[in-house]
């Protein structure tokens, strides 16, 4: 990697935590220069605007989440086990977010909903990816006879992701991780309930 590419990547990595903690509108160039150790001109040698930095910073944070999902699914063969792995990744956002500030998708979605269409679109795309991931595992489980026929993959994905993202918000807002612990435990029981009879009996 060339020096310029390394510098650009460093800016993105450092900026991700700034934007995720302070938000797009709450982050200033002064914040970015302090975090990156570069002068304003040095940053603008690599980016044309604050918006460009924010979009790439979000993409970087989202890529860290994708990597966590991929790593968690390695060696997980059963559909229920794979769903538990997804639940655990999202459950870990309270104590161990991929960048400082918590869940980047949740934070961006809340701030950008009515104020920044480009960032909102990025958050929508990331969330859609999570929903599709859960839905695809459910579909595969139905095909393999591991999950009950008639289970709605889209509904299951919505319940899993919405429950955990809500638990992230409540845990951070109330400074009480127990909200996430309860959500994870409840979801795992729910997912066990949609397993096929043969799967639940250990056949």
pLDDT value of position 197 = 78
- What pLDDT, in 10s, does the model give residues 72-113? 999 999 999 999 999 999 999 999 999 999 999 999 999 988
pLDDT value of position 58 = 98
Distance separating alpha carbons of residues 89 and 83, to the nearest angstrom: 10
**Structural contact between residues 52 and 90, judged by C-beta atoms closer than 8 angstroms:** no
Q: pTM score, two decimals?
A: 0.92
Which residue positions in the chain have pLDDT lower than 50? Answer: 203
Distance separating alpha carbons of residues 83 and 104, to the nearest angstrom: 21
CATH for the 59-200 domain, from 3.30.390.30, 3.40.50.1000, 1.10.357.10, 3.90.1010.10: 1.10.357.10
pLDDT value of position 14 = 96
Domain boundaries, the chain: 59-200
């Amino acid at each position: 990697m060339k020096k310029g590419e390394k510098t650009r990547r460093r800016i993105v990595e450092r900026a991700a935590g700034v934007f995720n903690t302070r938000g797009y509108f709450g982050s200033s160039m002064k914040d970015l220069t302090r975090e990156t150790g570069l002068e304003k001109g040095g940053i603008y040698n690599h980016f044309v605007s604050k918006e460009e930095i924010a979009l790439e910073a979000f993409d970087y944070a989202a890529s860290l989440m994708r990597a966590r999902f991929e790593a968690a699914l390695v060696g997980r063969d059963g559909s229920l086990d794979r769903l538990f792995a997804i639940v655990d990744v999202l459950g870990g956002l309270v104590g161990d977010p991929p960048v400082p500030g918590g869940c980047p998708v949740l934070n961006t979605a809340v701030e950008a909903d009515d104020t920044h269409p480009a960032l909102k679109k990025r958050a929508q795309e990331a969330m859609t990816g999570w929903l599709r991931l859960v839905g695809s595992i459910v579909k595969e489980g139905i095909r393999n006879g591991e999950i009950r026929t008639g289970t709605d993959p889209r509904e299951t994905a919505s319940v899993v992701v919405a429950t955990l993202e809500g638990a992230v918000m409540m845990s951070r807002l109330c400074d009480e991780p127990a909200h996430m612990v309860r959500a994870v435990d409840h979801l795992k029981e729910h997912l066990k309930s949609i397993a096929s009879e043969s799967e639940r009996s250990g056949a």
